[in-house]
């Protein structure tokens, strides 16, 4: 199946999914949107109020800021793919529960493997913990690491930067590094697949921040 067909199938499954309790309160599931052949994918936490209304990811205030960050980095939505770790809105925007993350995981896994991006940017702590179990966002934000053949770049959530103005410049700085990282990741996967397939705990440069493990999920 082509990536676009897989993504369409995932979107259809998600729209009628009852695998976790979040389906009771959703108005629209939010499977994600963007380029099925994107070299970079952004993964947020879960739909908020506006996303639940519209069925599209990052269309509220955090989404406006994300658009700004993407534009500054010379990226536009049509070039990237944006989704969340859970596809239905947690009531009151609470953090998703572990069982909800687990239930929704197969959809995200299928999207990642269909798109096969060189770079995955995690937005916020919950998305980051999909790839690193004990990373501290304050020390590893903006710093790339390899996980199962893909470059992962943890970033602060745009909503956090909206609430904490001191983080704005930090997030902007991290995003400005993305074009270089996309090139680097693409080159490495092409020319040095051994390096790209190295997992985090073998990567010497990343040993020092308490980032010693990755989840077995990916």
Q: Which two tokens stand for residue 100?
A: 């909800």
Residues 64-103: x where in contact with ligand SF4 by CB under 6 A, - otherwise, as a string = ----------------------xxx-----------x--x
Binding site for ligand URA (CB under 6 A): 44-48, 51, 57-58, 60, 62-63, 84, 159
Which span (16-24, 156-164, 180-188, 208-216) binds ligand SF4, by CB under 6 A?
16-24
Q: Where are the beta strands (DSSP E) in 54-125?
A: 81-84, 119-123
DSSP H helical segments within 120-199, as ranges?
A: 125-128, 137-140, 158-163, 165-176, 178-191, 193-196
Q: Which residue has the tokens 């953090």?
A: 95
Choose the contact partner of 20 out of ligand SF4, ligand URA, none; CB within 5 to 8 A by kind.
Answer: ligand SF4
- The verdict on 104 binding ligand SF4 (CB under 6 A) reads yes
DSSP 3-state of 146: strand
The yes or no reply on residue 206 touching ligand SF4 (CB under 6 A) is no
40 pairs with which residues across the strands? 119
Shortest approach of ligand SF4 to residue 77 CB, angstroms?
Answer: 22
Q: Do the beta carbons of residue 151 and residue 144 sit within 8 Å? A: yes
58 binds, among ligand URA, ligand SF4, none (CB under 5 to 8 A by kind): ligand URA
């Amino acid at each position: 199946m082509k990536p676009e067909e897989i993504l369409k199938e995932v979107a259809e499954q998600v729209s009628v999914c009852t695998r976790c309790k979040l389906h009771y309160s959703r108005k629209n599931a939010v499977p994600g949107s963007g380029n099925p052949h994107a070299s970079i994918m952004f993964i947020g936490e879960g739909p908020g109020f506006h996303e639940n209304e519209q069925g599209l990811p990052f269309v509220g205030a955090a989404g406006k800021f994300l658009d700004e960050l993407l534009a500054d980095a010379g990226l536009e939505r049509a070039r990237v793919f944006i989704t969340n770790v859970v596809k239905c809105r947690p009531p009151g925007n609470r953090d998703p529960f572990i069982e909800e993350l687990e239930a929704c995981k197969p959809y995200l896994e299928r999207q990642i493997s269909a798109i096969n991006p060189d770079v995955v940017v995690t937005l916020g702590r919950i998305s980051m913990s999909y790839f690193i179990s004990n990373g501290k966002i304050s020390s590893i934000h903006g710093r790339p690491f390899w996980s199962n053949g893909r470059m992962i770049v943890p970033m602060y959530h745009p909503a956090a930067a909206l609430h904490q103005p001191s983080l704005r410049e930090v997030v902007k700085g991290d995003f400005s590094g993305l074009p270089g990282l996309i090139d680097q990741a693409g080159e490495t996967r092409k020319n040095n697949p051994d390096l790209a397939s190295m997992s985090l705990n073998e990567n010497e440069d990343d040993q020092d921040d308490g980032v010693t493990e990755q989840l077995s999920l990916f």
